[in-house]
Amino acid sequence: MNEIQRKWIYLEPIFGRGSLPSEASRFNRVDVEFRTILNEVARDSRLVSLCSRQYLRRTLEQIIDQLNRCQRALNQFLEVYYSLLSAASLKYSLIGFLLLK
């Protein structure tokens, strides 16, 4: 649960604003499931109650899998973005250098 919380806290501001629309729907589904579990835990946080929920472990495993997919998509997007940014920066640096000569 702790790992899910950390990933969710990291990804929620990014996907919550609609950034990276290709993965936003995946994150939104995870967000709904995660908030549902948190609300259930808030209503009854007894360990016995949590352990009796048969679906809980499987759902948490699915949530972490989906959050990992969102994280990978974000990492791929950032790699492409930074490589394009780097290429553009290099291009303008070369143009500036040539203009100064």
Q: How many domains does the chain have?
A: 1
Give the model's pLDDT for residue 27. 94
Rounded distance between C-alpha atoms, residue 1 and residue 57, angstroms:
10
Degrees to nearest 5, angle at CA 96 with 90 and 101: 130
Q: Which pLDDT belongs to residue 94?
A: 52
Find the CATH number of the domain harbouring 44. Answer: 1.20.140.100
pLDDT at 86: 76
Nearest CA among 98, 94, 70 for reference residue 14: 70
pLDDT digits (tens, 9 = 90+) for 46-93: 766 777 777 888 999 999 999 999 999 999 988 888 887 777 665 656
pTM for the model stands at 0.76
Q: Do the beta carbons of residue 89 and residue 49 sit within 8 Å? A: no
Assign residue 15 a region (left: φ > 0; alpha: ψ between -120 and 50; beta: otherwise): alpha
Domain range for 26 is 2-100
Give the integer Cα–Cα distance in Å for 32 and 38: 10
